[in-house]
Amino acid sequence: MAFSKFGQKFTQKSGILQLMDDLGKALASDQPINMLGGGNPAKIPQVNAAFTQVAQNLIQSGQIIDSIANYSTPQGDDAFIKTLADFFRAEYGWNVQPENIALTNGSQNAFFYLFNLFGGEFEGGNKRILLPLSPEYVGYADAHISGSHFQTVRPKIERVQHNGKSGFFKYRVDFDALETLPEWENGEIGAICCSRPTNPTGNVLTDEEMARLDKLAQQHGIPLIIDNAYGAPFPNIIHTDNQLIWHDNIVLCFSLSKIGLPSARTGIVLANAEIINAINSLNAIINLSPTRMGAAMVTPMLQDGSLKQLSNEVIRPFYAEQAEYAIALLQHEFADYPLAIHQPEGAIFLWLWFENLPISSKELYEILKQRGTLIIPSEPFFVGLDTRDYRHAHECIRMSIAGDKTVLQQGIATIGEVVRELYDNAEGK
């Protein structure tokens, strides 16, 4: 059976396919698995109780049938969109109207649209999406139909302290390299995109870095796309002082996944009306309309303030505590070994750097999988970067902190045992 070029591209092996496939197999396995891979949010009792109460209210009122038995417009659920516009005006003072918002079937769906609207084949040639900081979200890598789609530069690596302790580092944008890319002169950059907090590292670009990227985008007449799936105001898993910005040249993307509703597949795009109209057209052709269940669940929680309260008082503190607990375990396991942890500034992961790791992180991933511990290797996250001579890109792993403390204990102990043995064998101990 012959597939088209489109079919061949989207059926080949990809990093996001491996991630989701391994996640599904692990969840279905009858063998115990330490789930430190994947991006599934934690099942937090207080959050689940709130969702249960909302669902019961929807059932009792009959609204549940309306949300699942009727299509929305291609733009998405009207009541949710109006509530979001009211919320953004009240919370941030932005001039947001319903025509500035579109819903998609998850943020992955949104980024497929955006990357193909602003990157790929144009009448004047190919345009790329500029990722200012690498590593970046693995799900971006293959979300384009054709062309060479992403451009980036190597990050600056700064050794830092966390809570007064050494053993940490932070990625910084190399603006000198970024601003002098030859692609600017050739008009080959169609948009700038960054996640904040960044998946996989938990890095939070500073307000100064964001302002510089915003200026760069406006200077070249291209949009700045910000993936805010882990950021403010929901789920607000962000542990640094930061300012959320939006105006007509910024495309700000949100998700309901990390508040604890990943299967509701609800992405939110906040942008100028021209971009929203384009997304509406794509929704109509590809999906008919976005799903409504997530919108139905969250609309009353936005209206009564409970979603903001849960994000600030339950979700964010939960992950902050999980991060510190995992860090303590890791530093105990690697007390005399070369582990550096990316400064934990947000999101639901820790990014671990084993400097001079004797094998690649892909090989480490396979060993750990056989030992019942699932992590994600670093190589697929360096989207748009040639990593053949970049050793650092083969020395890191992404580790989820969403599991319970027993999973963290067992998984980190396994990582410690395997990696220490690798270093010891390489040194002939």
- So what's the pLDDT on residue 8? 80
pLDDT value at residue 426: 84
Cα separation, 184 vs 221, whole angstroms: 11
pLDDT in tens, the chain (429 residues): 888 878 787 777 766 666 667 666 666 666 678 999 988 999 999 999 999 999 999 999 988 888 888 889 999 999 999 999 999 999 999 999 999 999 999 999 999 999 999 999 888 889 999 999 999 999 998 888 876 689 999 999 999 999 999 999 999 999 999 999 999 998 999 999 999 999 999 999 999 999 999 999 999 999 999 999 999 999 999 999 999 999 999 999 999 999 999 999 999 999 999 999 999 999 999 999 999 999 999 999 999 999 999 999 999 999 999 999 999 999 999 999 999 999 999 999 999 999 999 999 999 999 999 999 999 999 999 999 999 999 999 999 999 999 999 999 999 999 999 999 999 998 776
Residues in a beta bridge with 400 = 349
Provide the pLDDT for residue 18: 65
The predicted pLDDT at position 252 comes to 98
Domain ranges, ordered by start, for the chain: 13-44+309-426, 49-307
Q: Which residues pair with 227 in a beta bridge?
A: 195, 253
Report how far residue 306's alpha carbon sits from residue 318's, in angstroms, rounded to the nearest whole number: 17
For the domain bounded by 13-44+309-426, which CATH number is listed? 3.90.1150.10
Is 373 in a helix, a strand, or coil?
strand
| CATH code assigned to 49-307 | 3.40.640.10
Mapped onto helix, strand or coil, the DSSP state of residue 149 is: coil
In 3D, which of 208, 204, 207 has the Cα closest to residue 227? 204
Q: Which helix (H) or strand (E) segment is 350 a member of?
A: strand 349-354
Dihedral sign (CA 22, 23, 25, 31)? positive
DSSP symbols for 240-297: S-------TTEEEEEESGGGT-GGG--EEEE--HHHHHHHHHHHHHHTSS---HHHHH
What is the pLDDT, as a whole number, of residue 22?
A: 67
Q: What is the pLDDT of residue 29?
A: 63
